[in-house]
Chain A
Amino acid sequence: MDEPVLVADGLTRIHGVGCDRCLETTGPLSDTNRCSACGAVVAMADVSFALHPGEILGVMGESGSGKSTLVKVLHGDLAPSAGSAWFTQGDTRHELFALNAAERRSLRDRAMGMVHQNPHLGLNFQVSCGGNVAERLLMAGERRFATIRQRAERLLARMQVPIERMDERPGAFSGGMQQRVQIAKALATDPPLLLLDEVTTGLDVSVQARILDLILELQRETGTAMIVVTHDLGVIRLLAGRTLVMRLGRVVESGLTDQILEDPAHPYTQQLVSAAL
């Protein structure tokens, strides 16, 4: 039995001071994520899962489901209010929220790639595309210029970004291209874990399809474990072997993706699936 890459246990994030009634007055049964006692927003509560090497886990939900909060907490952009997570890299198991800021940053730079829906969050628009990939390699400790340049070229080419344009800044590219550059950057250090937050939302469908196909191809080549956050059933169906369905901060259902889509058990999942166009 292989070790999971990432284990999350009871992850919770409350915006605001919170009180002891926050959890019981929020969630799908209360039809709100705002605590009726103190007004705090329970963005995510009690989320647990295990992700193994080579797996793609889907996290599906609509706005306010907590899916993006989950990814931000895992990436270290937000601190959890409760819960823990363990990340295994090689022989070392790190307790994510017990690491200090420098350790966390180092882990993130080397072992955890993240692709955001908004490319401005993942790319430095003041620097060329090649420079963006190089930045990440530099932060991970690579110092040899030739290696950096070569690797950046190879990654961008693999993402089908024209090499002759790699010295241009991201602003000169279409949305789809910017996402490709983000993915190349995120994969620069061969991280065991890649977080993808609505990466094709808002792109033209033909562009979406090509990028998703590329992500799947890459995953098969590299065996990178991935968490794919999306509201789109089609993305889940294409990429994820297992899926968590979230609503109002809670996981309402989890299972094999084909099972979630063909035999949804929770009322909300049934609604979501029947609403697909």
Chain B
Amino acid sequence: MLKEDIGHRTSDIGPKDRPRTSDIGPLLSIDGLRKTFTLHERGMTLSAVVGCSFDVHPGTLTALVGPSGAGKSSVLSCIFRTYRPSAGRIMLTTSDGPVDLASADDRAVLRLRTAHLAFVTQFLRCLPRQPALAVVAEPALLALGKDAAQERAASLLEHLGVPGHLWSLPPATFSGGEKQRVNLARGFCAGAPLLLLDEPTASLDPVSRERVVELISRTRDAGTAIVAVFHDADLVRRLADHTVYLEAAPC
């Protein structure tokens, strides 16, 4: 299965990655992350993530692998703080010092989301009724200003093969694959040092998939730290510098 051979890059399989011997410490350091949901109406708890720990360095891609239900997407949601972690620390290195995302206050997290982290979720969630170009450009507006942000957005949409006649239309009416490419373009447009990708190629045809692989590779090589969930073992083989294997919670 996935545990055995992971391509030509060095991979550490297991709950903890070994840090690279370099001057640059990890950008992200996760320690003992757990997430349990309490469903009050049904009177039950659901364990989504059981004890996950790993480090992520700039310019590397870490793939989360494991069976369905093992908590891979939940780990990404915890890092982005869409889920409130039940236990553990998520240390992010920022220009103002290290921040524990698991316990940071809401405003600090909102601030970090504007420039330090970006999350491409499985489904496009964006402001409705906005044209696709504006949706993609939005994360870069503050840093680059409107014109430069739209230029970057246009170049990403072009690279991902989203036809120009769609750029002025709201993505709500697009096909699944088109929506996903808008979603990806927006995530990459942010230029954040930490990028979270959840099944980025799931709805895509082979040609689009290759363009996304190229974009991921290029972005990683330029210094972005990436944590990704791929359902495709081949992509893990081709892109992952490290893999982290998540066990499913016991029933």
Spell out A's residues near B (CB within 8 Å). Answer: 52, 55, 209, 213, 216, 238, 241-242, 254-256, 258-259, 262-263, 265, 267, 270-271, 274
| Assembly CA distance A133 to B109 (angstroms) | 38
- Say whether chain A's binding surface is mostly helix, strand, loop, or mixed: helix
Q: For the A-B complex with A256-B81, A265-B38, A270-B39 known, give 15 more contacts whose Cβ atoms are closer than 8 Å.
A: A52-B107, A209-B129, A213-B129, A216-B127, A242-B107, A254-B106, A255-B106, A256-B82, A256-B109, A262-B77, A262-B82, A262-B83, A263-B37, A271-B41, A274-B41
Q: Which of A209, A255, A259, A267 contacts B40 (CB 8 A)?
A: A267
CB distance B110 to A263 under 8 Å? Answer: no
Min CB distance B43 to A, Å, is: 10
Q: Which of B41, B106, B107 contacts A267 (CB 8 A)?
A: B41
Query: B84 interface residue, CB < 8 Å from A?
Result: yes
Closest 6 CB pairs of A and B: A267-B40, A263-B83, A258-B82, A262-B82, A242-B106, A256-B106
Q: Which of B38, B41, B106, B127 contacts A238 (CB 8 A)?
A: B127
Chain A minimum-CB-distance residue to B38: A265
Which residues of A have CB within 8 Å of B106? Answer: 242, 254-256
Which residues of B have CB within 8 Å of A213? Answer: 129
Which residues of A have CB within 8 Å of B83? Answer: 259, 262-263
Min CB distance A223 to B, Å, is: 12
Chain A minimum-CB-distance residue to B108: A1
The listed residue with most B CB atoms (<10 A of its CB), out of A238, A263, A271, is: A263
| Assembly CA distance A186 to B179 (angstroms) | 38
Which residues of A have CB within 8 Å of B127? Answer: 216, 238
Chain B minimum-CB-distance residue to A237: B125
| Assembly CA distance A130 to B212 (angstroms) | 53
| Assembly CA distance A260 to B174 (angstroms) | 28
Which positions 51-83 of chain B face chain A at CB distance < 8 Å? 77, 81-83
| Assembly CA distance A238 to B83 (angstroms) | 19
Which residues of A have CB within 8 Å of B107? Answer: 52, 55, 242
CB distance B110 to A265 under 8 Å? Answer: no
CB distance B84 to A270 under 8 Å? Answer: no
11 A-B pairs with C-beta separation under 8 A = A216-B127, A238-B128, A256-B81, A259-B84, A262-B83, A263-B82, A263-B83, A263-B84, A265-B38, A265-B84, A271-B41
| Assembly CA distance A271 to B39 (angstroms) | 10
Which residues of A have CB within 8 Å of B110? Answer: 241-242, 256
| Assembly CA distance A52 to B38 (angstroms) | 31
CB distance A259 to B81 under 8 Å? Answer: yes
Interface bits B200-223 vs A (CB < 8 Å: 1, else 0) = 000000000000000000000000
Which residues of B have CB within 8 Å of A267? Answer: 40-41
Min CB distance B144 to A, Å, is: 16
Chain B minimum-CB-distance residue to A238: B127
Min CB distance A52 to B, Å, is: 7
Min CB distance B34 to A, Å, is: 14
Which residues of A have CB within 8 Å of B128? Answer: 209, 238
Which residues of B have CB within 8 Å of A259? Answer: 81-84
Interface bits B22-38 vs A (CB < 8 Å: 1, else 0) = 00000000000000011
Which residues of A have CB within 8 Å of B41? Answer: 267, 270-271, 274
Min CB distance A265 to B, Å, is: 7
CB distance B84 to A255 under 8 Å? Answer: yes
Min CB distance A57 to B, Å, is: 10
Chain B minimum-CB-distance residue to A234: B128
| Assembly CA distance A270 to B41 (angstroms) | 8
Which residues of A have CB within 8 Å of B84? Answer: 255, 259, 263, 265
| Assembly CA distance A267 to B41 (angstroms) | 7
Min CB distance A275 to B, Å, is: 11
Which residues of B have CB within 8 Å of A52? Answer: 107
Which residues of B have CB within 8 Å of A255? Answer: 84, 106
| Assembly CA distance A274 to B41 (angstroms) | 11
Chain A minimum-CB-distance residue to B39: A270
Min CB distance A9 to B, Å, is: 17
Which residues of A have CB within 8 Å of B82? Answer: 256, 258-259, 262-263
| Assembly CA distance A265 to B86 (angstroms) | 11
Q: Which of B40, B81, B109 contacts A270 (CB 8 A)?
A: B40
Min CB distance B40 to A, Å, is: 4
The listed residue with most B CB atoms (<10 A of its CB), out of A213, A254, A256, A274, is: A256
